[in-house]
Amino acid sequence: MYDVPCTKTMIHTDLKKEMQEALKAKEEVRLSVIRGLLSAFTNELVTKKRKPDGELSDEEAMEVISRGAKQRKDSIEQFRKGGREDLAQKEEEELKILENYLPEMMSCKEIEKIAQAKKEEMGVDDKAKMGMLMGAIMKELKGKANGEDVKTVVEGLF
């Protein structure tokens, strides 16, 4: 797990090394996930109008990895609805690998403490301003908490 350290390109560089390790160990699923991530990193660099052979900062890399994890979760849900357990299993394997690169997410109790404090700080007392509160909390907890968990906690405050 990474805590997004001070070094600018640790995750991107580490993934390149891990790809070599996965290749040597013949870990096909891990290799596939890492190749997909490196490809997504390149796409992100191009999107940001930077050279494709450059490297993303750890924060940018975390955003890409988080998007990949979210896509896997959505795919798992869709495959299960469609009765394709085999494809859901494959996505779950890939999700487990991606989660190794993500920081540990905050628990609902930790989120609730912060949400309650933010609610009092902003003086939000009705449901009409829930979206504004949600946005402020997500900005503060970016990369530390799951958006679904934050939404559930905020809804529980009203």
* Whether residues 94 and 115 fall in one domain: no
* Whether residues 86 and 59 fall in one domain: yes
Distance CA 87, CA 91 (A): 6
Q: Is residue 135 part of a domain?
A: yes
The H or E element containing residue 73 is helix 58-81
* Whether residues 95 and 137 fall in one domain: no
* Whether residues 92 and 115 fall in one domain: no
Distance of CA 142 to the CA centre of its chain: 10
The two tokens of residue 65 are: 């990895």
* pLDDT tens track for 70-117: 999 999 999 999 999 999 999 999 999 998 888 888 888 888 888 888
Amino acid at 29: V
Residue 147 belongs to a domain with what CATH number?
Answer: 1.10.10
* Whether residues 71 and 146 fall in one domain: no
pLDDT at 9: 52
Give the end of a domain, one of 99, 119, 134.
99
Distance CA 139, CA 4 (A): 17
CA–CA–CA angle 19, 64, 134 (5° rounding)? 150
* Whether residues 94 and 16 fall in one domain: yes
Give the end of a domain, one of 99, 119, 142.
99
pLDDT at 59: 83
Number of domains in the chain: 2
User: How far is the CA of 83 from the CAs of 77, 78, 80, 89, in angstroms?
Assistant: 10, 9, 5, 12
**Domain range for 146:** 108-156
Residue 28 belongs to a domain with what CATH number?
Answer: 1.10.1510.10
* pLDDT tens track for 20-68: 999 999 999 999 999 999 999 999 999 999 998 888 888 888 889 989 9
> Is 115 exposed, middle or buried, given 0-12, 13-18 or 19+ CB atoms closer than 10 A?
buried
Give the alpha-carbon dihedral of 121, 112, 60, 32, to 10 degrees.
-170
Q: Is residue 129 part of a domain?
A: yes
